[in-house]
Amino acid sequence: MVDLRLIFFGTSSAIPTDKRNLSSIAIIRDGELFIFDVGEGMQKAFLKSKIGINKSTRIFITHLHGDHCLGLLGLLQTMSLSGRTKPIFIYGPHGIIKFINNNVDNLLLKLNYNILVNEIEKGIIIEEEEYIIKTCNSYHSINSKSYLFEEKERPGIFNPEKALKLRIPKGELWSLLQNGEEIKINGNKIRPEQVVANKRNGRKIGISGDTRPNKKLIDFFNGSNVLIFDSTYGDENTINAKNNKHSTSREAATIASKAKVKLLILTHFSSRYKNVDILVSQAKEVHKDVIAAYDLMDMKIVYNK
Amino acid sequence: MVDLRLIFFGTSSAIPTDKRNLSSIAIIRDGELFIFDVGEGMQKAFLKSKIGINKSTRIFITHLHGDHCLGLLGLLQTMSLSGRTKPIFIYGPHGIIKFINNNVDNLLLKLNYNILVNEIEKGIIIEEEEYIIKTCNSYHSINSKSYLFEEKERPGIFNPEKALKLRIPKGELWSLLQNGEEIKINGNKIRPEQVVANKRNGRKIGISGDTRPNKKLIDFFNGSNVLIFDSTYGDENTINAKNNKHSTSREAATIASKAKVKLLILTHFSSRYKNVDILVSQAKEVHKDVIAAYDLMDMKIVYNK
């Protein structure tokens, strides 16, 4: 089983606090690093996490508000100074190319590796053998994106006892069945599902970015193992959530519940909350499994039962 | 006596470490705040220092390398979100207007106060009743500035005993003398220096920014109470100092000594130094009073004896 690791580098909205840096989340899978948003100060937490600076890396920006992207240039610079040689692929909404190019020009930023910046719209933006990454619009005050990291289905488990009972000789025929092909043996058809269990779902991690709750996000995040959702406010600040185009923890939980998400992780907390327990409590009134992210929270994502 | 306070928000060069953020120094004098460079992560240290976000503020950038200016936009944003209303004056080398304007445009940065950005050359850039601020070129790989914060001379102390001995009646004549004017009493001329002590020097703080040592900086920093100087390296890395256009602590001390500086403060340490004691020792072989800056070091600057 491939490890799927989730790390939070920053969990505060707008203004950093003593304990929380600005938004940044990473997924690490099979040696590959996926970073979602790079708030100011992220490079320091990144160096602390000892993840290493030369991993295959893709960076996704949800939107071009400073608290979500102003750490990007420092991170790129530090990776270069620390000896990175591999290219970095960057994805974000329209405007990200100009943001990066202008700063590279104005700061005479010289990197020892290539950066390839992509302005994205919606749908699948990355498809690899074992996973895809999708994006859709979120519902914030500017053009903003949500992301979904989704492992593809894994083949079902082959049952050698059933195969032997059906007198299928070990070898090439087993492989054909495992690969989903029908075979014939002594004139009898054998279908793969007779010896191979159902395909197993991969793991899904959804990242809302800054957003109001919205029906379309329920579809987008449907069935996620983990949903990381904008929970800037608690019930008493519902009006601020509406005005500033964010969500309360209860609204996050409502989306999680309707999308049949397993674990909801609250993040992007307003700096007014010294303690976010109340936000977790309010969310738990709607959804069973809820935790609050904290800086350098580091967890393994397991398969849904 | 007006307090003159010096605070270091960041003391690392290029890459932040566990203990050191990127370059930023502040002077606070009589309710006014002067910030020199704003490296990434500075806003967090600034908030921690509880200086307050609505002070009369001037920001000086030594040069447009990311580790000296990438925290500027986040600081401006956070001050606005925290309720600042007073304008901020920003000074820096050519290119700073474009750097700020591009980012304000690309990030749709909305501030609740005005920023006034000035591209500076050399000489006096600010003259107020009680202090001036000067700049000159430093000797780095790109257009870079050093700064000098200099209090004007204060009037000498009036000696009432001497005045009474000379039979000068208390009142308007005392004021005239204190203000440097000659008076006549019973046909005798009295010169101010007969009753007023010599003018007293103000305090001077020099900030080198990133630089190689250079003769011209000796003149520029001459007689400073405090000189904060680029000390990226120790003796063993003299070649790196030369190649990367920085100074060793010994070179910093040589400038301090020749410029008759009282206290030399080393800063901008390469992240390779977990402990900078060796850099202080090497500097002390050349100059008597040397200390190493550390993050959130906070000191009062007194008058030279």
Closest-approach residue (CA) in chain A for B78: A15
- Closest-CA distance, B30 to chain A, in angstroms, reads 27
The percent of chain A in helix, strand and coil, each rounded to the nearest 5, is 25, 30, 45
C-alpha to C-alpha distance for B226 and A18, rounded to whole angstroms: 31
ipTM value: 0.89
Residue A305 falls inside a structural domain: no
Of B47, B74, B103, the CB nearest to A40: B74
CATH code of the domain in which A238 resides: 3.60.15.10
Average pLDDT over residues A110-132: 96
The verdict on B74 and B173 lying in the same domain is no
Within this chain, do residues B43 and B186 fall inside the same structural domain, yes or no?
Answer: no
Pairwise CA distance, residues B233 & B245, whole Å: 11
- The angle subtended at Cα A110 by Cα A105 and Cα A116, nearest 5°, is 80
CA distance B213 to B146: 12
CB A211 within 8 A of CB A246: yes
Q: Which two tokens stand for residue B134?
A: 């000067």
A120 and A204 assigned to the same domain: yes
DSSP 8-state secondary structure symbol assigned to residue A247: -
Per-residue pLDDT band for A187 (boundaries 50, 70, 90) equals: confident
Asked if residue B228 belongs to a domain, the reply is yes
Q: Do B247 and B217 meet the contact criterion of CB atoms below 8 Å apart?
A: no
For residues A205 and A188, membership in a common domain is answered with no
Statement to judge: residues A60 and A132 lie in one domain: yes
Number of domains making up chain A: 2
Give Cα separations from B247 to B94, B240, B268 (angstroms): 23, 9, 10
Structural domain boundaries enclosing A165: 160-194
Assess if residue B174 is contained within a domain: yes
Return the active site residues of B.
67
Clarify whether residues A246 and A268 are in a common domain: yes
Give the active site residues of A: 67
pLDDT < 50: residue spans in chain B: none
Say if residue B135 is in the same domain as residue B230. yes
Residue B145 within a domain: yes
| Sheet strands (E) in B179-297 | 183-185, 188-190, 204-207, 226-230, 263-267, 290-292
Residue A257 placed within a domain: yes
Q: Which two tokens stand for residue A23?
A: 């938004």
DSSP state of B243: H
Both B247 and B111 in a single domain?
A: yes
Query: Which of A238, A230, A284 has the alpha carbon at shortest distance from A257?
Result: A284
Pair (A181, A282) in one structural domain: no
Q: Encode A171-207: b = buried (16+ Cβ within 10 Å), e = exposed.
A: eebbeebbeeeebeeeeeebebeebbeeeeebbbbbb
Q: How far apart are CA B241 and CA B88, in angstroms?
A: 34
Q: Which residues of A touch B (CB under 8 A)?
A: 14-18, 21-22, 40-41, 43-44, 47-48, 64-67, 69-71, 73-74, 77-78, 81-82, 95, 98-99, 102-103, 106-109, 142
The distance of B299 to chain A (nearest Cα, Å) reads 22
Per-residue pLDDT at B305 = 63
- Above 70 in pLDDT, residue A305? no
- Number of Cβ within 10 Å of residue A2's Cβ equals 12
Alpha-carbon B249 to chain mean position: 19
Residue A152 near residue A30 (C-beta atoms within 8 A): no
Secondary element (H or E) of residue B192: none
Task: Please determine, for residue A87, whether its predicted confidence score (pLDDT) is greater than 70.
Answer: yes
Comparing alpha-carbon positions, the chain B residue that sits nearest to A98 is B106
**Closest residue to A70, CB basis, from B74, B82, B108:** B74
Note whether A210 and A264 are same-domain residues: yes
> A109 with A73: CB under 8 angstroms?
yes
- CB atoms near residue B41 (< 10 Å): 30
Show the tokens assigned to A225: 């193992």
Q: How confident is the prediction for chain A on average, in pLDDT? A: 95
Is A130 domain-assigned?
A: yes
pLDDT on residue B39 = 98
- H-helix or E-strand containing B233? none
| Dist. CA B9–CA B51, nearest whole Å | 12
Residue range A23-82, pLDDT digits in tens: 999 999 999 999 999 999 999 999 999 999 999 999 999 999 999 999 999 999 999 999
The rounded distance, in Å, linking the Cα atoms of A167 and B105 is 71
**Contact between B81 and A14 using a beta-carbon 8 Å cutoff:** yes
Q: Which of A65, A81, A108 sits opposite B107 (nearest CB)?
A: A65
Boundary-marking domain end, from A194, A214, A246: A194
Give the closest-approach CA distance of B79 to chain A in angstroms: 9
DSSP annotation of B237 reads G
Q: Are residues B285 and B214 in the same domain?
A: yes
Query: Shortest Cα distance from A270 to chain B (angstroms)?
Result: 12
Quick check: is A229 in a domain?
Answer: yes
- Give a yes or no: residue B305 inside a domain: no
Global pTM?
0.91
Using DSSP, state whether A299 is helix, strand or coil: strand
Which of these three, A171, A194, A217, is where a domain ends? A194
Strand partners, B118: B91
Same domain for A138 and A20: yes
Cβ neighbours around B223 below 10 Å, total:
14
The predicted model gives A174-193 an average pLDDT of 89
E strand spans, A152-194: 183-185, 188-190
Kindly identify which residue of chain B lies nearest to residue A64, measuring between CA atoms: B107
